[in-house]
Amino acid sequence: MHLEFHHISRNPWTVLVLRGDLDMAGAPRLRQEVAQLVAAGDARLVLDLAAVDFIDSTGLGAVIGALRRVRSHDGELVLVCPEPRLQRVFELCDLDRVFELHGSVDAAVGASA
C-alpha cells in the first residue's frame, strides 16, 4: 500500500495524518511533505501515525529527518502513535526517548501546548 497524507490545522499545530506504509517507497514523500510544510512556516508538526500499517528503517529515518528539519527552524515535532505494534518499533530503537509518543491528536496538541 502506498502512503497518503492530509493536513489538519490545530493552531498553532499542523497535524500531518499519514495512511498506509511508511517504508522505502513512502519515506521520500514524507520528507518532501515535511520540507514543504516547514518552508511554508509550519514548524510545529504533529505526525499522526494512527493509520500507518507498516514502518521500516527507512520510514524511521524519515521521521528522524522530519524532527531535525523542524528543529532547525525552531519548531517542534510530536507523534501520535496509539498502536502498540508501532510503539514497540520506536521502543526497540530507543526512539521513544527522542520523540513524544501520544495516543491521540488531542493528547499531542494538549500536552505540547
CB 90 within 8 Å of CB 99: yes
Q: What angle do CA 102, 59, 112 make, to 5 degrees?
A: 25
pLDDT, tens digit, for every residue of 52-76?
999 999 999 999 999 999 999 999 9
pLDDT, tens digit, for every residue of 43-57?
999 999 999 999 999
pLDDT(113) > 60? no
User: Where along the chain do its domains lie?
Assistant: 4-111
Q: Helical H runs in 73-104?
A: 84-92
Query: What is the reported pLDDT for 14?
Result: 96
pLDDT(32) > 80? yes
Helix axes 27-39, 57-72, angle to 10 degrees: 10
Class of domain 4-111: alpha beta
Which pLDDT band, with edges at 50, 70 and 90, does 1 fall under?
low
